[in-house]
Amino acid sequence: MTRFPIKLEDKHTRQGSQRGKLIEASLCLDVPASLIAETVARWKPLWDAGLERRRRLDLPPLENEHWDWLAKSSWLSLAAYRSLGVECEGVMQGLMMLVTDGYAARMQPDIGKPLVYVDYVQNAPWNNEDLVDRPRFGAVGSHLLDGAVKLSVDLEYGGRLGLHSLQRSEGFYRRLGLAPVEVERQDRHARGLWYFEFTREGAEGFLQARGSR
Number of separate domains in the chain: 1
pLDDT confidence band for 194 (50 / 70 / 90): confident
Return d(Cα 105, Cα 108) in angstroms, integer.
Answer: 8
The boundaries of the domain holding residue 83 are 2-209
177 Cβ partners below 8 Å, 6+ apart? 198, 202, 205, 206, 209
pLDDT confidence band for 213 (50 / 70 / 90): very low
At residue 6, does pLDDT exceed 50? yes
Return d(Cα 22, Cα 7) in angstroms, integer.
Answer: 6
| 78-101: pLDDT as tens digits | 889 999 999 999 999 999 999 999
What pTM was estimated for this model as a whole? 0.91
- pLDDT, greater one: 150 or 1: 150
pLDDT averaged over every residue in the chain: 90
Q: What is the pLDDT of residue 14?
A: 86
Return d(Cα 122, Cα 85) in angstroms, integer.
Answer: 10
For strands 116-123 and 161-165, give the pairing.
Answer: parallel
CATH number at 133 reads 3.40.630.30
